[in-house]
Amino acid sequence: MKTTILLLAMALVLPFQLRAEEMKVSLKEAINLALAENHLLKAATYEHVAAEKDVWASRSRYLPRIYLEETAASSNAPTRVFMMKLDEARFTSNDFLIDNLNHPRARSDFRTALTVEQTLFDMTVGSTVDQAKFEEGARRFALERRREEVAFRVFTAYLEVQKAKAQLAAAENGAATAQEHMRLAKVRNEAGVGLKSDELRSRAFLSEMEQQQLTAINDLRLAHLRLALATGSGAGAGFDIAEELKAAELAMGNEELVRLALANRPDLKEMEQGVAKAGSGLKMARSAFLPTVYGSATYQMNDKNTPFGRDNDSWMVGATLRWELFDGLRRWNDLGKASALKSSADEYLERYRQEIAYQVTESYLRREEAGKCLEMASNTLLDAEEGHRLVERRFENSISTMVELLDAQTALNRARAHLVDNQSNYALATGQLYHAAGIFMKEVMQ
């Protein structure tokens, strides 16, 4: 009796709480909210931005580098004093005296230099840019993969709410039927045509149904919270569903879905970018055997007493070719390492293509299985409803016992719950198939 009162109180209070605290959203609205608020998705976005910045940073090696230097020095070293005087244009004939050359007095110099350096030929620069581009592509596809995962997680949570609602409806139906059975058993017992044990048994069965109803209420509330959590709104919020999801008709066969998966899966494209990056690393290792050529130009001012002063100025323009002929076989080993990493990436990619084809085929077969199970569950429910109706009619005419009636009711409750599970499983299997084929966002958000 206490359980009945508790359920009635929750039935009265809970709907008002749901209306006050939970906002109804469509699947598209829930997914869009998750795409805007999900923290993992935001992290992947920042990683992609960082990769874009790295591309620009690597391209900067094509541009000239400009330096401004100010150097202050003081020395009595003969060669240093000699050069300071020359740079400052303060050299006189007395400076050629032997004693002045060998034992000059200490002198100070402020050197201001503006230098421009430009890469003229360096094959590793292009490879560095290519590697940064491939990494940016990998981060872009990683972001897309994360978007698909977030959307599918919201889809799953949305289905959980739908399933919990259907289970609650089935539990309420079962509790209402059990209540009617107890009433009928009580009336028959009071009329002297029934047994006291039937009334007690029906009361115990009603208590069990009420407990299941209480569990279903809590499951629905938790499903609302999980949906809110999946959208990135936090565990304190709550969302309700605004539409009923049904498994879409599938117009493509398994082979077509496999082809789409190999063409659209962002995780596969991410791995392909990794293979391309490994190829660029191999190219860079080969480029290390080539010479490099850099050009430079410097404008210089020197002053005896003032920083950034100008007693005299000068300039220099030049180019430097550097060709490393022997480095202890380091470059040969780097080349072997890069070649091995490229081969390894190729093998991983091929294996992952096979794994994707298997995932799509498995999802396709599981969807067919779920569809057949749903069809059988629908037929089972029809049989259970008819069986319960017949037993109930026989019980009213004192032909069947309360045990038979409750057994029929249990079978009916089980058939209802089984149908709810199979309906949810079929819709989930369809979404899983689209997810495996890499077209989930396209199919759901269109």
The mean pLDDT of 255-277, rounded to a whole number, is 94
Q: Kindly tell me if the per-residue pLDDT of 231 is higher than 50.
A: yes
How confident is the model over 323-333, as a mean pLDDT?
Answer: 91
Q: Could you state, in order of their start, the residue ranges of all structural domains in the chain? A: 2-64+122-291+331-445
Task: Assess whether pLDDT exceeds 60 at residue 68.
Answer: yes
Q: What is the predicted pLDDT for the residue at 300?
A: 95
Question: Sorting pLDDT into bands at 50, 70 and 90, what band is 245?
Answer: confident
Residue 376 has pLDDT above 90, yes or no: yes
Q: Output 259 or 14, whichever has higher pLDDT.
A: 259
Q: From CA 280, how far away is CA 438, in angstroms rounded?
A: 27
**What is the tens place of the pLDDT at every residue in 341-350?**
999 999 999 9
Does position 21 have pLDDT exceeding 70, yes or no?
Answer: no
Instruction: State yes or no: pLDDT of 236 exceeds 80.
Output: no
Instruction: Provide mean pLDDT across the span 34-50.
Output: 90
**Mean of the pLDDT values across residues 416-424?**
86
Structure tokens at 261: 């998966």
Inter-residue contact 135 to 427 (CB < 8 Å): no
Residue-wise pLDDT tens digits, 275-304: 999 999 999 999 999 999 999 999 999 998
The predicted model scores a pTM of 0.78
pLDDT above 80 (res 412): yes
pLDDT at 99: 82
Mean pLDDT taken over the chain = 86
Does 1 score more than 50 pLDDT? no
For the chain, give the percent of residues with pLDDT over 90: 50
pLDDT, residue 387, reads 87
Q: Which residue has the higher pLDDT, 56 or 236?
A: 56
Average pLDDT over residues 174-180: 81
Would the pLDDT of 47 be above 80?
yes
**Homologous superfamily of 2-64+122-291+331-445:** Outer membrane efflux proteins (OEP) (1.20.1600.10)
Best-predicted range by mean pLDDT among 50-64, 175-189, 416-430?
50-64
Grade residue 134 by pLDDT with cuts at 50, 70 and 90.
very high
Asked whether residue 11 carries a pLDDT value surpassing 70, the answer given is no
Amino acid occupying residue 208: E
184-229 residue pLDDT tens: 777 767 766 667 777 777 788 788 888 988 998 999 999 998 888 8
Ranges 130-134, 208-212, 365-369: which has the least confidence: 208-212
Query: What's the whole-number mean pLDDT along residues 410-423?
Result: 85
User: Residue 234: what pLDDT?
Assistant: 64
pLDDT at 196: 73
